[in-house]
Each structure stands twice: as C-alpha cells, then as structure tokens.
Amino acid sequence: MIELDGRFWLNINGKPFLGGGRVELLKKIDQIGSIHSASKAMKMSYKAAWDTLKQMGEVSPQPLLEKHIGGKGGGGTTLTLYAKEMLATFEKFDKLHNEFIDRFKEAGDNPAKLQTILNRTFLTTSARNQFLCDVVAIESNDISSKIKLAFKEKTIFVSTITTKSLQNMGIHEGQNIYAIIKANDIKITNSLNGNEGNAIKGKISYINQNENGSEVGLKTDDDFMLVALNNTNEASSLSVGMEAYGVFGSENILIGI
C-alpha cells in the first residue's frame, strides 16, 4: 500500500540547519562530551561528524558548541544554551510534523480521501470521536436520510440527518466524510436488548474513573477507538479487556465534510 511520508528539517535563510541525524549527533555530544566519541557511537567517521558540525555552524546565528580544556573533568565539548534551545524547538516541531503525517496516512493511496483530510486539517471540535468513513449506502425520503457509514471494513453504523442537509452538503455514495459523535452520547454496555440503534462491538481498552463519572475507551478489531462518558454505576460492571458494545443513536452522529 502507498503511504505518505516526510522528513522534517529546520532551515535558516533557506539553508538546511537541523534534521534528524544532526539532532542525534548534537545529543550524543551533549551526552558524551566528545565529538570523537559521539561520532563513534553513531558509527560515523570523525571527519563526517566534524564536516556536519561545520555546516551547521556556518548557518547558525550563534555558536552551537563550547570547548573546555583541561580542568577537573579533563576537558571536552558541550552544547551551548542556544544549541539546547534549538534542539527543544526541533523536537516540538518534529512531533507536530509526525502527527500531521499520521493524519494523512489515513488516506492510504486514495487521493480523494486525502483531499477530505486536507479540507478538515485546521478544523477542531470538542467531540472526542471523529472518524473518516466511507459512505456505503443512502436511503432518503422527503424529510430524512439514513447514511450507512463504514470505518475501514468491519465497523459499520448509520447516521440520520435531514434530506435537506444531505442535498446541501452534496453527500453521495462512495464519498469520504467525517462521523462526529460526542462522548456523552455513547453508552458502553456488556449486553444488548436489540433496540439500541448503532451497537459497535469491541474490547474495553481503558477505564478512567472518579467521583464525577467514567471515561471508557472501546477498541474494535480494525482500530476504531470509541470514547464514551458513562456514569459511575454503569462503569462498575465493566473491566479492561472485556468484550462490550458502544451504543448510540443514528441521530447522535454529526456529519462533516
């Protein structure tokens, strides 16, 4: 399967400054206190390490290394405060970059799905459950429409919206849309009575509980993680690893495109 990938770099004035390998080298120097030993630990030649440091130094507006000669510790090389600040900055941006790429990986090799993700990248809602799904089928009358949604292959559920909304949003079969469900609209239970509407089967991944209630995570076989807010009494019959169901009405699913 085709997957999106990417490497993060910090540039200064259009020139490469910090990337993954350079960050690792600086960390090793900071840890060991020697360029020679750091290069050996990274299985690179001393010349290659020195050339890399020279290239960074030519771009950096401030020194990255401090040399210490003799003394109680025997001398060595350490990072400047500026270098440590740049490492911290790189790691923060790199983490965000990885999260950004991970979101895009949801698209796999489907450009249309990627476009849906791009359209929504900068929208944030308070709902804990937001899933990119395929529209499998649509049943409509003059007033309301039922949209059958599939997350990957095994997790299927139905959303009911007004037919006017369906038409205004241009929703059609085969489209990728977001299903958005508030955590307090979901109930996690270990038994069904047959009248629940949507009932997603999975195993309880975690339970966070206090006097105000319980947050329960239910994970299905295709990594669909449903997060619900149950009251304390409801959660008392649940345990991590137990097979259970996430139950919610079709009217509780908001649609995003």
How confident is the model at residue 131, as a pLDDT? 87
CATH topology of domain 10-105: Arc Repressor Mutant, subunit A (1.10.10)
The domain 118-256: what is its CATH number?
A: 2.40.50.100
How confident is the model at residue 70, as a pLDDT? 61
Q: Widest CA span of the chain, in angstroms?
A: 86
Among left, alpha and beta (phi > 0; psi -120 to 50; other), residue 105 is alpha
**pTM score, whole prediction:** 0.55
8-state DSSP, 18: E
How confident is the model at residue 230, as a pLDDT? 78
Cβ neighbours for 137, distance < 8 A, ≥ 6 positions apart: 147, 148, 173
The shares of helix, strand and coil residues in the chain, as percent rounded to the nearest 5, are 35, 35, 30
Tell me how far the alpha carbon of residue 21 is from its chain's centroid. 23
Would you list the domain boundaries of the chain? Answer: 10-105, 118-256
8-state DSSP, 190: S
Tell me how far the alpha carbon of residue 248 is from its chain's centroid. 24
Domains 10-105 and 118-256 fall in the same CATH topology: no
The list of the chain residues with pLDDT below 70 reads: 1-4, 70-75, 106-107, 116-126, 232
8-state DSSP, 237: T
How confident is the model at residue 110, as a pLDDT? 72
